Structure 1
Amino acid sequence: MIMKKLFGTLLPAFQGVVCLLIVLSAPQVQAKASQIEEVVSPGGIRAWLVQERSIPIISMEVAWRGGASVEPAEKAGLATLVASTMDEGAGELDSRAFQKALSELAISLSFQAGKDSFQGSLKTLSKNRDEAFRLFGMAVTQPRFDEEPVNRIRNQILVSLNRALSSPNTLASRAWFQEAFPDHAYGIPSKGTLETVPGLSRDDLAGYAKRMIARDNMVIAVVGDIGSEELGRYLDDMFGTLPAKADYTAPKAVEPRSEAVVRIIEQDIPQSVIMFGGQGVKRDDPDYYAAYVLNYILGGGGFESRLTEEIREKRGLVYSVYSYLYPFEAAGVHIGGMGTRNDAAVQALGLLKAELAKIRKDGVSDAELAAAKTYLNGSFPLRLSSNSRIADILLSMQLSHLPPAYLGERDALINAVTPADIRRVAKRLMDPDKLIVVVVGKPAGLSETMPEGEKQ
């Protein structure tokens, strides 16, 4: 997905305030983030606000539920193309005039599409907020989707998709989701395909924006030099003319395929790129925090993780190996990856499965559990190091249906995870006999196994 970031124009304007961001300590920023106000505009539009008056910057993150997962398969890539062209002209301003207006005032404005949401980002010096909010509002209420920028960006996306055909990591990721969700929207590439993207029309783009960019599926987070009353007025100015309700059907709840799959995509490269995973948890699952801590110990903790210790440090088979939880709106997945020599792929996968079996059988040690909690709690404030990062987290909280009090409760939720919780969740999620594995390369001695009816 193509995102146009205006870092070049932002840098000179923000040089004078960067030092202020750096000197804020993590506890100070966390304290600011915990002071969340729920602002309701005169027109009834809601947003979360954290005021930060010491820095003359405003960051806003907006998301609309839906994203790429509500597209029909034959229109795959539509949300991505919409996101890539929404700042290419709006209202009376064509693409050149709109980008010039952003550049002259060092306003950063962009959009992106994920599987479950369509997101817009705005960052501006507070003295330029009138124009920044005006331009953002125009982009979401009056996008032009003119022929020239749409064709130009469509061609850029097609070039990117062509390049992806030779990218082992992209091929592995795309194939993994196809195998995990063969009959669901999550198995369809969000960026589209070489077959679908050329057929996307201006009417398709305008129709998506009209259906999906509405007030009832919108969440907003604002952090910076602005008060609640003035923000309320800006919210109505930006979003007051949007449709009251979005017109879409959310994807049905689903679980990843539960039987073992090994899919091999042959490429003449010296290394096998491996993606693996299976069942995870959604964000509202009671086992989420236990799964979160367990994943850190297994593969999410970098050099502290078991997979890194067993596969990299002891045997030198990989440069890196990782795992993470991915809680979608309609499904939870646990996914990971590694790269190894073609002649070592079978051994690396065997070590992965052995570690999964071990953690299911024996759980984790008290020392591992304590270290994981210390890191996960201690590192979190570092993620609150700027207005933009705080706004990102506030937006994610709303998308995940978390209350404002979550920031103050997070440490306790992680600390409450017990060894028994870890063992229970490991048995639930870490089944080595149900792994979905995709390998790109020429893995020596590895055979492809597919469910009956899908063997190639």
Structure 2
Amino acid sequence: MIFNRVSYGFAAAAAGAFLFFAPAAQAMTKIERVVSPGGIEAWLVREPSVPLIAMEFSFKGGANQDPVGKPGVAYMAAASLDEGAGDLDAKAFQARAERNAVELSFRASRDEVRGSLKVLSDRKAEGFDLLRLALTKPRFDQEPVERIRAQMLTALKRETTSPNEIGSRLWWRTAFPNHPYSLPTNGTLESVPTIVRDDLTGFVSRTLARDNLKVGVVGDIDAKTLGTVLDQVFGALPAKSDLRAVPQARPEAVGKRLEVQLDVPQTVVAFGGSGIPRKDPDFIPAFIVNHILGGGSFSSRLYNEVREKRGLAYSVYSYLLPLDAAALFMGGTQTRADKANEAVGLIEEEIKRLAENGPTEDELEKSKSYLKGSYALNFDTSTKIAGQLVQLQVDDLGIDYWERRNGLIEAVTLDDVKRVARRLLNGGVLFTVVGRTQTAASAKQGG
């Protein structure tokens, strides 16, 4: 769940131009590395033809830095950053953002805190100053913190009857016992009431620092101006973060199936096992293997077997999830209670078949063609482009990755995907099944 602060004045002023802005394919590779006078780095795609600026940024250290016994601190801190800062209380901060058509949001995930700023170029001074205040002088006043706490608790209560959330929490709790990944990012009904202001200020002071910052910018701003802005916005942050080490881990209980009885219309199936790290040379072949198995939507093996041939589900999918401390292969579906066993069996069968025999030459070529051609969909808004700039830095893939990426895919051979299919899919997966299951529940419902 993400708490967003949207300026409707921004949407009106932009008149839709921002949402549909995308540089030409050639321009997407024209990334400038900008280093401020104070040594802060950002990657920039300049586009002066549209008077808009999008900035995305990331700080390493998200929910994995929550205090022991208090999951939800990172989530609450991120949600509170724009609820008043400096001399502006929450109402005054939001009014200033609205008056200047500034859209600002923050969100916490397992491994990072991310933020986003969208502003018209003639209002950039106001937008960047609001961002500076939110990052360096958050207030965490009682009223907005209690309001956000109430929102979080309401959402958590709803999740106790959500089969998707029940299954997800059970999967992570089982796969990563005694590890930060076992805990839900948005906290629990027990932990959220115990979070105090010192927890929020402590998280921000330890996590939001210049040494773990990545910045991507797209729009009507030049490199010199951006260099000045970087120091103005981020320069007052601590030079060094104080992050707790997160141990590397592999999912446990693979090969098991856990069931939770819940009276809902459809049974929810989730599964996951070990994946391949993002910097591993086998990641691109694994990306192709996953596309063939369940990442290819209407063309995947799982879609063909589970939906097309048997009509067991509307959607069935798989994906790779490389985290800082674990690389995962994940997936899921929803189906009728009396068909859950059949759906799980088909998923297991297709995983095993692909692991043993690998893809066909035809599957490989079609997947490569699709993955190369569809890459441009990641760049159809300036916010997406800025996010990609940040992700490339987080993944340490190099500033020229856009230029190299399709070549890396094209270079993958049939022998590569057969070998990597065995590596990726032979380790087994952990299933969670939530709904009117056909066998006795072997796990308790909970969060």
Q: Which one of 93, 104, 113 corresponds to residue 109 of structure 1?
A: 104
Higher mean alpha-carbon deviation, 270-279 vs 305-314, is at 270-279
Q: Which one of 428, 433, 436 corresponds to residue 430 of structure 2?
A: 436
Higher mean alpha-carbon deviation, 418-427 vs 4-13, is at 4-13
How much does 1:445 deviate? 4.1
Is the 1:109–1:123 Cα contact (8 Å) retained in structure 2? yes
Q: Which residue of structure 1 aligns with residue 255 of structure 2?
A: 260
Q: CA RMSD in A?
A: 1.6
Is the 1:346–1:445 Cα contact (8 Å) retained in structure 2? no
Q: Which residue of structure 2 aligns with residue 3 of structure 1?
A: 3
How much does 1:29 deviate? 2.9
Alignment partners' CA distance in 2, 1:224 and 1:274: 42
1:248 aligns with 2:243: yes
Q: Which one of 207, 225, 228 corresponds to residue 230 of structure 1?
A: 225
Q: Which residue of structure 1 aligns with residue 13 of structure 2?
A: 13
- 2:135 aligns to what SS in structure 1? helix
Is the 2:174–2:253 Cα contact (8 Å) retained in structure 1? no
Is the 1:181–1:187 Cα contact (8 Å) retained in structure 2? yes
TM-score, normalization by structure 2: 0.96
> What amino acid is the match of 1:442?
R
How much does 1:434 deviate? 2.4
Q: Which one of 367, 376, 384 corresponds to residue 379 of structure 2?
A: 384
> What amino acid is the match of 2:345?
G
How much does 1:440 deviate? 0.6
Q: Deviations along 1:279-316, whole A, 9 cap, x unmatched?
A: 11111111100110000000001110000100111011
Q: Which residue of structure 2 aligns with residue 326 of structure 1?
A: 321
> What amino acid is the match of 2:54?
S
Alignment partners' CA distance in 2, 1:427 and 1:227: 48
What pairs up with 1:297-446 in 2 under 5 angstroms? 297-431=292-426, 434-445=428-439
What pairs up with 1:157-176 in 2 under 5 angstroms? 157-176=152-171
Is the 2:7–2:98 Cα contact (8 Å) retained in structure 1? no
Q: Which residue of structure 1 aligns with residue 207 of structure 2?
A: 212
How much does 1:8 deviate? 2.9
Higher mean alpha-carbon deviation, 292-301 vs 3-12, is at 3-12
> What amino acid is the match of 2:329?
H
> What amino acid is the match of 1:6?
V
- 1:401 aligns to what SS in structure 2? coil
Structure 1 residue ranges without an equivalent (≥5): 451-456
Q: Deviations along 1:316-336, whole A, 9 cap, x unmatched?
A: 111110000000011110000
Alignment partners' CA distance in 2, 1:16 and 1:364: 43
1:180 aligns with 2:180: no
Alignment partners' CA distance in 2, 1:31 and 1:427: 37
What pairs up with 1:93-172 in 2 under 5 angstroms? 93-172=88-167
Alignment partners' CA distance in 2, 1:390 and 1:220: 12
How much does 1:343 deviate? 1.0
TM-score, normalization by structure 1: 0.94
- 2:311 aligns to what SS in structure 1? coil
Q: Which residue of structure 2 aligns with residue 272 of structure 1?
A: 267
In structure 2, relative to structure 1, the CA distance for the partners of 1:220 and 1:11 (3 Å cut) is same
> What amino acid is the match of 2:112?
S
Is the 1:64–1:118 Cα contact (8 Å) retained in structure 2? yes
> What amino acid is the match of 1:75?
K
In structure 2, relative to structure 1, the CA distance for the partners of 1:72 and 1:362 (3 Å cut) is same
Is the 1:325–1:333 Cα contact (8 Å) retained in structure 2? yes
Q: Which one of 75, 84, 104 corresponds to residue 89 of structure 1?
A: 84
Alignment partners' CA distance in 1, 2:300 and 2:254: 26
Alignment partners' CA distance in 2, 1:360 and 1:43: 50
The alignment covers a number of residue pairs equal to: 444
> What amino acid is the match of 1:14?
A
Higher mean alpha-carbon deviation, 234-243 vs 133-142, is at 234-243
Alignment partners' CA distance in 2, 1:263 and 1:347: 15
Alignment partners' CA distance in 2, 1:449 and 1:76: 22
Alignment partners' CA distance in 1, 2:383 and 2:76: 24
Alignment partners' CA distance in 2, 1:73 and 1:164: 22
Alignment partners' CA distance in 1, 2:440 and 2:407: 44
> What amino acid is the match of 1:436?
L
In structure 2, relative to structure 1, the CA distance for the partners of 1:91 and 1:77 (3 Å cut) is same
Q: Which residue of structure 1 aligns with residue 70 of structure 2?
A: 75
How much does 1:448 deviate? 4.0
Alignment partners' CA distance in 2, 1:157 and 1:106: 27
Is the 1:278–1:434 Cα contact (8 Å) retained in structure 2? yes
Structure 2 residue ranges without an equivalent (≥5): none
Q: Which residue of structure 1 aligns with residue 26 of structure 2?
A: 31
How much does 1:17 deviate? 2.7
Alignment partners' CA distance in 1, 2:296 and 2:442: 30
Is the 2:53–2:220 Cα contact (8 Å) retained in structure 1? yes
Alignment partners' CA distance in 2, 1:264 and 1:176: 11
Is the 1:77–1:196 Cα contact (8 Å) retained in structure 2? yes
Q: Deviations along 1:245-264, whole A, 9 cap, x unmatched?
A: 00112311111116322111
> What amino acid is the match of 1:87?
D
Alignment partners' CA distance in 1, 2:149 and 2:24: 40
> What amino acid is the match of 2:75?
T
Alignment partners' CA distance in 1, 2:174 and 2:27: 43
Alignment partners' CA distance in 2, 1:365 and 1:259: 27
Alignment partners' CA distance in 2, 1:188 and 1:353: 27
Q: Which residue of structure 2 aligns with residue 52 of structure 1?
A: 47
